[in-house]
Amino acid sequence: MIRSFEKRAEQKISGFQSPAADYLEGRLDISERLVIDPHCTFYFQMKGGGMESCGILDGDVLIIDRSLKAHHGAIVVAFSAGSFICRMFLIENGEFVLKNDQATVRETEMGMLQVWGVVTAICRNMLPKALRTGRYSHVCTL
Amino acid sequence: MFALCDCNNFYASAERLFRPELNGKPVVVLSNNDGCVIARSEEAKACGIKMGDPEFLVRDLIKKFSIQVFSSNYVLYGDMSERVMHNLGRWFPRLDVYSIDEAFGWLGGVKDLGNYVPKIRESVVRNTGIPVSIGVAPTKTLAKLANKMSKRTGGVLVLDSDEKIKAAVNDFPAHELWGVGRQHYKKFESLGIRTAGELRNMPEMWFKQHMTILGQRMWNELWGRPAIPLEAVRETKKGITVSRSFRNYIEQPEILAEALTLYASRLAEKLRREKLRCLYLQVFLYTNKNREDHPQHFPSHTHKLLIASNNTTDLVSIAVRVSARLFRAGVKYRKAGVIATGLVPENELQLNAFFDHDNGKKDTVSAVLDKLNLAYGRGTLRMASEGYEKKWRLKHEYLSKGYTTRWADIIKVK
């Protein structure tokens, strides 16, 4: 979980004023890179290995921006046949195609398909099991 | 030019965004405690469900048409509302958020409205997933009217010429106008006024005599002369209330104290968010007035604080003490609430020579409470007197998840 909670401890200087005091810039915050527009951003989570060839693994948190229009090659979250799915969005011969490691579905077969949003980035916990404890158990993932 | 932007069937739309299989299906949202219908999708309206219908009265309709029912999920609606308003705000030089699902925007200096306004709608709908309608006109009253009419014309209606305004008002029922209540409706009926067009053709004197200053404003607004400005500064609040019904009747003072602890904590939180302190705290209890077989009791007491306060500890201890005094054994209470009045700005603290102030120690505690609850989720740190079981808690059997506010609730995809 990304949290900008109290970026810097309150500085109470008893001795000399820090020469850096005038140069404070604010520390880097990864959410600036992951979330471009918070008011259009939603989060989903990948279940299963259907998108492994695209680099999305089971448990990855998907960052979805609804303001983007799906283009050829975009990873999207769509709603089809009663459930949310994550797929690669392709345009082949002018036809919309959704694809994952198991199946390719063309527009004509999709019926009630809606692209819900475009996946802009993923978050993944890279810790081995032994380190996934306490406040590190939810690094990026759940 | 003013725009009124309004989310279509907002609560139902917010629920459907995360349950797209319900698109095109009837959906209703129930009030707190699952009491009555407070939002309906178009399909549910067509099934004959009315606004405010008690849930038990429409149970048959719900079954018959397989209507999807939701308890009100204000955490979700609040977040979705914020998204819609932020997205709208990018298109208007000034925006006045009027309610959870409505905002007035000012479009001064924007040329080619016919082109601009559909773009606003399109971008807000795409970015948030919430369908919105936008009515644009020279006055707020006409913008509201245009907004209502736009629901039938694809979500956008711009009344930018006298001819368009004339055609619109001649088509619009007078009793649906902004600011027209039941009393006015009767008056219109007796005079044979049916449309807004007929209404604005009445002489100004008539409005002055029969509808006070507000009517005169309406008359001007209907003729395209702005009489109600865009609210630049929100009026300072006169009072803040937190009140809720219990799931079951409360008959024990300890349980009542738990509920009052929660309500007073919420009230203190609200006050701090508005940067206000209160001088008076009113506590009230209700029994169910529809149960003639129950003893009835509607006590209320207003406590005057020595020093205006907005910290949780002060307000909770007062609320609990007062409620214990109001409580009467053998009575089944249905609802309770706390109201803060005598509101003063947080930073204008008037001290009292005969009372020892704690120098803001409790305020510091409250600030820490707010910070922790903001970071770790509401209720992480709370008063122990709130209790643990909370059997009196609101009934919400059909509550959807916190799709946008809780990590554990985000949607899983395959």
pLDDT band at A11 (very low <50, low <70, confident <90, very high): low
**More confident: B65 or B349:** B65
Instruction: Supply the CATH classification number for the domain A39-136.
Output: 2.10.109.10
| Test mutation, A10, A39, A45, A58, chain B, max B CBs within 10 A | A39
Which range, A39-48, B172-181, B189-198, B362-371, has the best average confidence (pLDDT)? A39-48
Cβ-contact A99, A108 below 8 angstroms: no
User: How many angstroms separate the CA atoms of B170 and B195, rounded?
Assistant: 6
Which chain A residue has the Cα nearest residue B408? A142
List, for residues B144-157, the tens digit of each pLDDT value. Answer: 999 999 988 889 99
Question: In this structure, which amino acid lies at residue B361?
Answer: K
Answer yes or no: is pLDDT of A6 > 90: no
Our measurement of the distance from residue A58's CA atom to the centroid of its chain's CA atoms, rounded to an integer in Å, reads 13
Which chain B residue has the Cα nearest residue A2? B375
Q: Which residues of B touch A37 (CB under 8 A)?
A: 127
**Residue found by looking up tokens 């008690």 in the block:** B54
| Distance (Å) from the alpha carbon of A28 to chain B's nearest alpha carbon | 19
Q: Which of B283, B276, B279 is nearest to B306 (CA)?
A: B279
Confidence at residue A141, expressed as pLDDT on a 0 to 100 scale = 59
CB atoms within 10 A of CB B363: 20
| Distance (Å) from the alpha carbon of B79 to chain A's nearest alpha carbon | 9
Answer yes or no: is pLDDT of B263 > 80: yes
List, for residues B114-129, the tens digit of each pLDDT value. Answer: 999 999 999 999 999 9
| Distance (Å) from the alpha carbon of B282 to chain A's nearest alpha carbon | 35
Confidence at residue A2, expressed as pLDDT on a 0 to 100 scale = 41
Would you call B413 and A142 a contact, using CB atoms and an 8 Å cutoff?
Answer: no
> Would you say how long chain B is, in residues?
414
| Widest Cα–Cα separation across chain A | 73
Secondary structure of B180-216 as H, E, C letters = CCHHHHHHHHHHCCCEHHHHHCCCHHHHHHHHHHHHH
Average pLDDT over every residue of B381-399? 80
Please state, rounded to an integer, the average pLDDT across all residues of chain B. 89
CB nearest to A86's CB, from B129, B371, B413: B413
Average pLDDT over every residue of B335-349? 88
Answer yes or no: is pLDDT of A27 > 50: yes
User: How many angstroms separate the CA atoms of B167 and B156, rounded?
Assistant: 16
List, for residues A28-76, the tens digit of each pLDDT value. Answer: 888 889 999 999 999 999 999 999 999 999 999 999 999 999 999 999 9
List, for residues B191-204, the tens digit of each pLDDT value. Answer: 888 888 888 888 88
Confidence at residue B109, expressed as pLDDT on a 0 to 100 scale = 82
Please state, rounded to an integer, the average pLDDT across all residues of chain A. 84
Which chain A residue has the Cα nearest residue B375? A5
Residues 6 or more apart whose Cβ sits within 8 Å of residue A85? A77, A78, A79, A98, A100, B413, B414
Strands A41-46 and B411-413: parallel
Beta-carbon contacts below 8 Å between A and B: 66
ipTM value: 0.85
Would you call A142 and B408 a contact, using CB atoms and an 8 Å cutoff?
Answer: yes
Q: Is B244 exposed, middle or buried (0-12, 13-18, 19+ CB in 10 A)?
A: middle
| Distance (Å) from the alpha carbon of B284 to chain A's nearest alpha carbon | 38
Q: Which of B206, B135, B204, B189 is nearest to B165 (CA)?
A: B135
| 76-105 of B, contacting A, C-beta below 8 A | 82-83, 86-87
Question: Global pTM?
Answer: 0.82
Would you call B127 and A5 a contact, using CB atoms and an 8 Å cutoff?
Answer: no
List of domains in chain B: 2-150 (3.30.70.270), 161-222 (1.10.150), 239-386 (3.30.1490.100)
Would you call A47 and B123 a contact, using CB atoms and an 8 Å cutoff?
Answer: no
Confidence at residue A111, expressed as pLDDT on a 0 to 100 scale = 63
Residue A60 token pair: 């990855």
CB nearest to A39's CB, from B21, B83, B403: B83
Of A119-123, B131-135, B352-356, the range with the lowest mean pLDDT is B352-356
Domain boundaries, chain A: 39-136
Residues of chain A whose beta carbon is less than 8 angstroms from a beta carbon of chain B are: 1, 3, 5-6, 37, 39-40, 42-48, 50, 61-62, 66-67, 77, 79, 82-86, 114, 116, 138, 142
Of B103-107, B127-131, B233-237, the range with the lowest mean pLDDT is B233-237
Confidence at residue A63, expressed as pLDDT on a 0 to 100 scale = 96
Confidence at residue B356, expressed as pLDDT on a 0 to 100 scale = 65
Residues 6 or more apart whose Cβ sits within 8 Å of residue B178? B140, B141, B144, B145, B218
Answer yes or no: is pLDDT of B182 > 80: no
**More confident: B74 or A81:** B74
Answer yes or no: is pLDDT of B349 > 80: no
Question: In this structure, which amino acid lies at residue B121?
Answer: R
